[in-house]
Copies of this chain bind each other. A is one copy, B any other.
Amino acid sequence: MATRTAHDALSRDRIVDTAIEMLDAGGESGLTFRALSTRLKTGAGAIYWHVANKDELLAAATGAVLADVLRGDEADTTPQDAIRAIALGMFDAIDGHPWIGGQLAGLASRSASLRIIERIGQQVQAMGMPAGQRFFAASALYSFILGVAGQNAANARAREHGTSRAETLGAEAQLWANLDAAEFPFLRGVAAQLGDHDDREQFLAGIDLILAGIGIAR
C-alpha cells in the first residue's frame, strides 16, 4: 500500500467529488474556487492545474452524476418500460442533485446527454416508430425531461433562500386557490392537486402522455 500524507494528493477526481458535495449543499452559487480550494486545503490557482475552468468543472460534475444513470440496463423489458426506467433514472439524479438541471441544457455536458438520447432513441425505434419520426420523438422525450429538470433546479434555488419544499408548495397552492375566479378558473380548480401532488408521479404521467402519442404515430 502506498504511503500517504494526512490528506490525499490533489487530483481531478477529488476536485470533482468535492465540487459535487458543495453543489449539493449550496447549489451553483455555493461552488466557488476559493471555497473549494479552502476545503481541499490548497491554493485557489492549484485547481487550474487539473481543470481548465469552472465550466469544465461543472460539466465534469454533471458527467459524474449522470454516469450512475447510464449504468442501468434495460434488457428484457418492453420499450415503454425501458424509457420509463431511463426517464426515472434521470428524474432521481436531478432530484438528488438539482443543480444539474441548469447544466444539462448546455453542450458542456454533451457526452452524457448523447448517451441518454441514444438510449431513448433505441427504445423509440423498438416501439416501431417510423424512421422519419424517431428523431422528433426522442427529442420530445428528452426536452420534456430537461424541462422538468430546469423547474426542479429553480425550485431548489428558491429553497436555498430558506423555506422548505412543503412550505413553498403550500404557499403556492394557497396563491392559486385565491386567484381571480373569472381570470384563472383552471388554476383555481387544480390548486388542491398542486398542494399534494407527487413530483415523481407527475413526471411519469408526462412521460406516459408522450409514450401514448408515440403509440398512435407508430
Residue numbers of A with Cβ under 8 A of B are 101-102, 104-107, 114, 117-118, 121-122, 125, 131-140, 142-151, 153-155, 157-158, 176, 179, 183-187, 189-190, 193-194, 197, 202, 205-206, 208-217
Contact = CB atoms under 8 A, between A and B. Distances in A.
A144 B205 CA distance: 13
Contact of A135 (B145, B179, B194, B213): B194
A161 B2 CA distance: 45
Contact of A210 (B106, B107, B189, B213): B213
A163 B41 CA distance: 39
Contact of A186 (B118, B142, B193): B118
Most buried by B among A125, A148, A157, A213: A213
Nearest to A208: B213
12 contacts: A101-B105, A114-B184, A122-B186, A134-B186, A135-B197, A136-B205, A137-B209, A138-B190, A139-B206, A143-B147, A212-B217, A215-B216
A179 to B, nearest CB: 8
